[in-house]
Structure formats: C-alpha cells, structure tokens
Amino acid sequence: MPTLKSPAMRTVDVARRAGYSVQQVRNLERDGVLPPAARSAAGYRIYGELHVQSALAYRALAAGTGPVEAKRIVRAVHECPASEVLALLDAAHARLDRERTDLGLAKEAAAAISAELVDDVRPSDAMSVSELAAALGVRPSTLRHWDAEGLAVPDRVPPRETRRYSPAQTRDARIVHQLRSAGYRIDQLRTLMPSLRRGHRSEDIGAALAARDVSIAARSRALLDAAVALGTVLGAS
C-alpha cells in the first residue's frame, strides 16, 4: 500500500501520477477534492502523496458514483470523521445493490413480456390511461409523458381523442416501465424503443439489459479500485 512519505511534488507530477491534466489537478484542489497545497517561497504549489492518493480516489469514485458524489465523498475524507465517510461509501454500494436487484427483476419481466402473443386481439382488449397506470403502478401523467416522448404511444379514439392502449402498445409501456426501473434514462429509451417495435424484441431487450449489467459491474469495480486510495487518505486523517 502506498505511504504518505514521499518527496515534494509539482503540479505536473501529481497530474502524471493521477492521469489528469495540470489544470484538472488545480481544479480538484479548488473544489476541495485535494487538500490545499503548500507553497514554496516563490509561490509554487508543493504537493505530496496525500494529494496523489486523493486524486486517484476521486478518479475511481467518479467512475463508480459520478463526479458529484465522488467529490462529496473525497471532500468528506478531508473534512469529516471517518464514520461519515464510511457511511457515504456504504450508501454508494447500497445504490449499486438496488440497481442489481432492479436489473434482475427487469430481466425476468422483459423475458415474460416479450414472449406474450398480441395477435388476433379484439378492440375490447385495449386499456385506458387510468387502467394501464393502475396495472403498472405508475401515475397517468407518467404514461402521458412516455406518449409525448414517443416511447409508448397509444391510439387516439374520437371524438375526444381519448388515449387507448392496444395489447402491443400496452406491452411497449410495460417494457418501458421495466427498463426505467432498471435505470434507463428517457433519452436512452428514445433510441431503443423504435428498434424494439421493428422486431427482434427479445434479443434487443436482452442486449440492452446486458449492457446495463456491464455498466453496473464496471461501477462496482471502480468502487473497489477506489478503496486502496481512500484507505491511504483516511489513514492520514
């Protein structure tokens, strides 16, 4: 494990060790991710191993939790008791665990939904907004939002242009619901849903969920990679 006893370093030295640019290192210090650097008599920054490990911890955490939460955690290392830092890390791991659980449920649901037959349906099989919202456990406004985004688009029945969801459209809504529960953003679904409607629905959903699985695994690994650097920084606190 790295120790904090190392020769004084320049900004460029920290940048090379951490894989950042010189300006990014200065920005991390400005944002409190790195503790304030000492200054030479000439006014140049003097860094040490603590700054390198803080930058490395932030880099790994940003990949695992996103930059905002990563900054919060590393700043807490410098400013808060260790118990608070560990609580933030526990929360980050718990979020990933929930994502894994939701993803597993989405895989099961998507497989079942995609296998459903929607041929030879009758007009009476269609559902209203309120009926489908109740079946999915979402608000009617959520379905209207998905309609506006082109994700699950119902028929419009005159004279009042009332929304009615056919079985195929209901299946679209159920798939959107499961993928949203698995963490997919609206912009991602705008790209995905047209290809699902054109065919190969099961294969495309499976590929999308598999990609989500890879993303979760990568973020989980990033949190693991951050542990060594965080342990070093915490040891100096």
The pLDDT of residue 158: 86
In a domain, 4, yes or no: no
What is the arithmetic mean of pLDDT over 77-94? 93
The amino acid sitting at 237 is S
Chain segment 174-233, per-residue pLDDT in tens? 888 888 887 888 988 887 777 666 554 566 677 778 888 899 999 999 999 998 888 888
In a domain, 137, yes or no: yes
The pLDDT of residue 206: 76
Query: Which spans in the chain are helix H?
Result: 11-18, 22-30, 49-65, 67-79, 82-114, 129-136, 140-148, 167-181, 186-198, 201-235
Q: Clarify whether residues 64 and 170 are in a common domain.
A: no
In a domain, 116, yes or no: yes
Q: Is 90 exceeded by the pLDDT of residue 147?
A: yes
Q: Clarify whether residues 166 and 189 are in a common domain.
A: yes
In a domain, 107, yes or no: yes
What is the arithmetic mean of pLDDT over 77-92? 93
Residue 2: pLDDT band (50, 70, 90) is very low
Q: Clarify whether residues 60 and 106 are in a common domain.
A: no
In a domain, 153, yes or no: yes
Q: Across-strand partners of 9?
A: 47
Q: Clarify whether residues 105 and 192 are in a common domain.
A: yes
Q: If you count them, how many residues does the chain have? A: 237
In a domain, 5, yes or no: no
Q: Clarify whether residues 86 and 123 are in a common domain.
A: no
Q: Clarify whether residues 111 and 192 are in a common domain.
A: yes
Q: Is 80 exceeded by the pLDDT of residue 149?
A: yes
What is the arithmetic mean of pLDDT over 165-178? 87
The Cβ of residue 224 has, within 10 Å, a number of other Cβ atoms equal to 12
What is the arithmetic mean of pLDDT over 141-158? 93
Q: How far apart are CA 2 and CA 232, in angstroms?
A: 7
Range of the domain at 131: 96-216
Q: Is 90 exceeded by the pLDDT of residue 115?
A: no
In a domain, 53, yes or no: yes
Residues 159/170, Cβ–Cβ less than 8 Å: no
Residues 129/141, Cβ–Cβ less than 8 Å: no
The Cβ of residue 128 has, within 10 Å, a number of other Cβ atoms equal to 16
In a domain, 148, yes or no: yes
The pLDDT of residue 138: 94
Residue 1: pLDDT band (50, 70, 90) is very low
Q: Clarify whether residues 168 and 125 are in a common domain.
A: yes
Look up tokens 């490990």; give the residue. 53
How many domains does the chain fold into? 2
Residues 229/74, Cβ–Cβ less than 8 Å: no
Q: Which two tokens stand for residue 10?
A: 């320049």
Q: Clarify whether residues 26 and 122 are in a common domain.
A: no
Q: Clarify whether residues 178 and 103 are in a common domain.
A: yes
Q: Clarify whether residues 87 and 157 are in a common domain.
A: no
The CATH number that applies at residue 24 is 1.10.1660.10
Chain segment 20-79, per-residue pLDDT in tens? 999 999 999 999 999 999 998 888 999 999 999 999 999 999 999 999 999 999 999 999
What is the arithmetic mean of pLDDT over 159-184? 85
More confident residue, 146 or 110: 146
Q: Clarify whether residues 110 and 161 are in a common domain.
A: yes
Backbone angles phi, psi at 164, to 5 degrees: -135, 130
- pTM of the predicted structure, to 2 decimals: 0.66
Q: Is 90 exceeded by the pLDDT of residue 172?
A: no
How distant, in Å, are the alpha carbons of 86, 89, 99, 150, 209 from that of 93?
A: 11, 6, 10, 34, 20
Q: Clarify whether residues 20 and 75 are in a common domain.
A: yes
The pLDDT of residue 4: 58
